[in-house]
Amino acid sequence: MRLPGFKCVVTGGASGIGAATVRRFVSEGAAVCILDRDLASAEQLAAECGGETFALELDVRLEPSVQQVADAVLSRWGSVDVLVNNAGSELNKTYDQTTLDEWDRVLDTDLKGPWLLCKYFVPSMVARGSGSVINVSSLNGLVGFPLSTAYGSAKGGLVVFTKDMAIELATSGVRINCVCPGVIQTPMMERWTDLMPDKEEAKAMLRGVMPIGRMGTAEEVAGAILFFASEDSSLCQGAVLSVDGGFTAQ
């Protein structure tokens, strides 16, 4: 048990990496609040996990909603040990074909959302003198790809946001770190390949991008998130961990 009695919040926790993280945290002894726009799926996962796990509906782009959820969670638990900013929105379009609404949706979800969650959860961690925040960025936040100007800008911004926050929080007892998954088999990846003329050819291309010759799993990324959530990462502050099968080692 690496998170005995920990109280953890996971955004975008109803599917993919978020759901794998919720399950891993529960298996390590944590109570988890699942935050997701898909409340039905979040509640189903909470029921599967049992214990103190519960679900609340949240659109991370909306400040009043974030504040309301934070108030509810802190009122229920008193404090939070771990915050995982995992909720994300993808877009695969050239810069000139991207609409303003699409740009705002991606940036608001992937960058403004983590800032809002930190704004309303981290002060209580600071007041207590302990806590861990894990931001889920992406390979796209470290290197350039075509059709990725909005998504890459948001995820790259999240990497630097993590480092800036780390310096602000350095002496507070609160740690903030970042994981950057590579090509991971998730519903988000499935939605991307669904847009391709040949779905299986697109998947083969994605496997080829990874030096290890396969896609990663949500559970493998959850293991990296668990490291930052636990006291095993006590000396990590502002760290950026690539979970990408060797892509950025090339």
pTM of the model: 0.95
**Strand 82-85 versus strand 54-57 pairing type:** unpaired
Residue 172 sits at the vertex; the CA angle it makes with 232 and 76, to the nearest 5 degrees, is 80
- Return the HEC string of the chain: CCCCCCEEEEECCCCHHHHHHHHHHHHCCCEEEEEECCHHHHHHHHHHHCCCCEEEECCCCCHHHHHHHHHHHHHHHCCCCEEEECCCCCCCECCCCCCHHHHHHHHHHHHHHHHHHHHHHHHHHHHHCCEEEEEECCHHHCCCCCCEHHHHHHHHHHHHHHHHHHHHCCCCCEEEEEEEECCEECHHHHHHHHCCCCHHHHHHHHHHHCCCCCCEEHHHHHHHHHHHHCHHHCCCCCCEEEECCCHHHC
Residues counted in the chain: 250
Cβ atoms of 79 and 6 within 8 Å: the answer is no
Q: What is the rounded distance in angstroms from the CA atom of residue 231 to the CA atom of residue 91?
A: 35
**pLDDT at residue 187, rounded to an integer:** 77
For residue 73, the number of C-alpha atoms closer than 13 Å in the C-beta half-sphere is 33
Q: What is the rounded distance in angstroms from the CA atom of residue 231 to the CA atom of residue 61?
A: 30
**pLDDT at residue 189, rounded to an integer:** 74
Q: What is the rounded distance in angstroms from the CA atom of residue 53 to the CA atom of residue 92?
A: 34
Residue 249 sits at the vertex; the CA angle it makes with 243 and 250, to the nearest 5 degrees, is 130
- Report the CATH number of the 7-183+218-242 domain: 3.40.50.720
Can 151 be counted among the known catalytic residues? yes
Give pLDDT tens digits along the chain (250 positions).
999 999 999 999 999 999 999 999 999 999 999 999 999 999 999 999 999 999 999 999 999 999 999 999 999 999 999 999 999 999 989 999 999 999 999 999 999 999 999 999 999 999 999 999 999 999 999 999 888 999 999 999 999 999 999 999 999 999 999 999 999 988 777 776 777 778 888 788 778 888 999 999 999 999 999 999 999 999 999 999 999 999 999 9
| Residue in 151, 161, 192, 228 annotated catalytic | 151
Domain positions in the chain are 7-183+218-242
Cβ atoms of 86 and 17 within 8 Å: the answer is yes
